[in-house]
Amino acid sequence: MVNTIDFITPPVDDPYWFGQIAAANSISDVYSMGGRPLTALNVVMFPAKKLDMGVLKEILRGGNDKVLEAGASLVGGHSVEDDEPKYGLCVNGVVHPDKILTNDSARPGDVLILTKPLGSGVLFNAVRSGKLSFAEIEREVLPSLAALNGPAIEAALSFDIHACTDITGFGIIGHALEMATGSSVQISLRYKALPFYPAALDMYKKGENTGSNRPNQQLVETHLDLRVSLTPAEKELLYDPQTSGGLLLSLPADQSEELLQSLTACGVRASVKIGEVGEGKPVIVVE
């Protein structure tokens, strides 16, 4: 049995999208361990005196739809009055004790596969500041963020996955460093292979940023070996915090192409090979 709890503040003003993304984000913790979600409890903080209760209804509807899509059951929850809406789930799931995936077992010779694009953090802030319209992210970005990582992990479990984590608030570099440190390996990422959401780079060029970029940079700076020439905006994408990001999978190189084909076949079309695992001190090499 595995139990996780996670909640977020609204990445977008649309309450139904907010509910879906928050739920997918919470359920992802179970998937990243190779588990299957069974039940979920709502965790709600809501300014009932400031916002119409219809907003809360739509948030909960979005969350419930994702729980049902995951094959789990929503069995209750808890709510409190707060100044800002926050929503997430406490998720219970099951995983075979001999098949638990962790982020500390990557092996030299492995290949790294990422299942969703990066750059959602700056896009959310850009919508809030008016540099980007909601319509520009609704078509291509929000469906990806609301997509469950269930199909990806279901496909991956047919392979020899050595390590797995989901990419969230620490960004691609932060979570890769967690894997490198826990596994006592060196991880090399190919910058040109990293998938980014449309307009993410442009928003950094226009001066948009997030409150997490600088802390994420400080977290990794003594373990980062940057071997490629990048503009300041391109560097910021490495630290961009994700909400409901994809899975980072480490597996033997000779299985990587077949896994990519399997991921594509089950609808996880953004999956891409982004790097390799090698011997050495726990550093992240960006080439």
Which residues make Cβ contacts (< 8 Å) with residue 240, sequence separation at least 6?
118, 119, 120, 121, 122, 171, 172, 200, 210, 213
pLDDT at residue number 220: 97
Return averaged pLDDT per consecutive 10 residues of the chain, 287 residues in all: 64 88 96 97 93 94 98 95 92 94 98 98 95 91 97 97 97 98 98 97 97 97 97 98 97 98 96 97 97
DSSP, collapsed to helix, strand or coil, labels residue 168 as: coil
Residue with tokens 């789990």: 72
| Euclidean distance between CA atoms 264 and 261, whole angstroms | 5
- Measuring CA to CA, which residue among 36, 113, 105 is closest to residue 67? 36
- Measuring CA to CA, which residue among 182, 28, 30 is closest to residue 106? 182
Buried-exposed string 25-56: b where 16+ CB fall within 10 A, e elsewhere: bbbbbbbbbbbbbbbbbbbbbbeeeeeeeebb
- H helices of 42-133, in order, are 53-69, 120-129
Q: Which domains does the chain carry?
A: 2-94 (3.30.1330.10), 110-286 (3.90.650.10)
Q: How far is CA 29 from CA 87, 90, 164, 270, in A?
A: 15, 10, 11, 20
| Euclidean distance between CA atoms 165 and 145, whole angstroms | 16
Q: How far is CA 93 from CA 8, 35, 60, 153, 238, in A?
A: 20, 6, 20, 14, 31
pLDDT at residue number 154: 97
Question: What residues does 113 pair with on adjacent strands?
Answer: 249, 273
DSSP, collapsed to helix, strand or coil, labels residue 248 as: strand
| Euclidean distance between CA atoms 178 and 32, whole angstroms | 14
Handedness of CA 278, 284, 285, 287 (dihedral sign): positive
| Euclidean distance between CA atoms 111 and 48, whole angstroms | 48
pLDDT at residue number 140: 86
| Euclidean distance between CA atoms 23 and 14, whole angstroms | 14
